[in-house]
């Protein structure tokens, strides 16, 4: 199973794995589970770090690549198709990063792992932590 992980949940993977249910942690450990992080999430991490609203033990340029390896997470580039799909989404959610993740999940037909209840208002498969 390929699974798009939202920014907050991906940060929890290495910093606070206890936030996930036992079932979800077992799923992460299975060899047939592929975790995917959007480039939009890397961008969000970089912006929030630069603004001082996200504290990391090292700069994002080091943190993100090292945690991608540690969590065996691949990346999903943002394409023009993904960006343009955002205009077609209903306005249930105002966060531009989350709206882009929703567009990517829809277009790539990926379930998305998120703790944000607003994602459920969209036509996307949502998995809770």
* Domains located in the chain, CATH noted: 2-127 (3.40.50.1010)
* pLDDT at site 119: 93
d(CA 52, CA 18): 25
* pLDDT at site 50: 97
Strand partners, 113: 5, 127
What is the pLDDT tens value at each position of the chain, 129 positions in all?
999 999 999 999 989 999 999 999 999 989 999 999 999 999 999 999 999 999 999 999 999 999 999 999 999 999 999 999 999 999 887 899 999 999 999 999 999 999 999 999 999 999 999
User: pTM higher than 0.85 for the full model?
Assistant: yes
Note the pLDDT tens digit of each residue in 19-41: 999 999 999 989 999 999 999 99
């Amino acid at each position: 199973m390929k699974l798009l992980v939202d920014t907050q949940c991906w940060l929890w993977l290495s910093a606070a794995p206890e936030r996930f249910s036992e079932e979800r942690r077992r799923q992460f450990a299975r060899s047939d589970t592929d975790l995917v992080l959007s480039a939009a999430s890397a961008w969000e991490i970089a912006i929030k770090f630069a603004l001082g609203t996200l504290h990391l033990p090292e700069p994002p340029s080091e943190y993100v690549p090292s945690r991608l390896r540690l969590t065996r997470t691949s990346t999903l580039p943002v394409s023009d198709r993904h960006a343009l799909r955002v205009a077609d989404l209903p306005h249930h959610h105002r966060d531009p990063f989350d709206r882009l993740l929703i567009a990517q999940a829809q277009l790539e037909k990926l379930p998305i792992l998120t703790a944000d209840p607003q994602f459920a208002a969209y036509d996307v498969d949502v998995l809770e932590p």
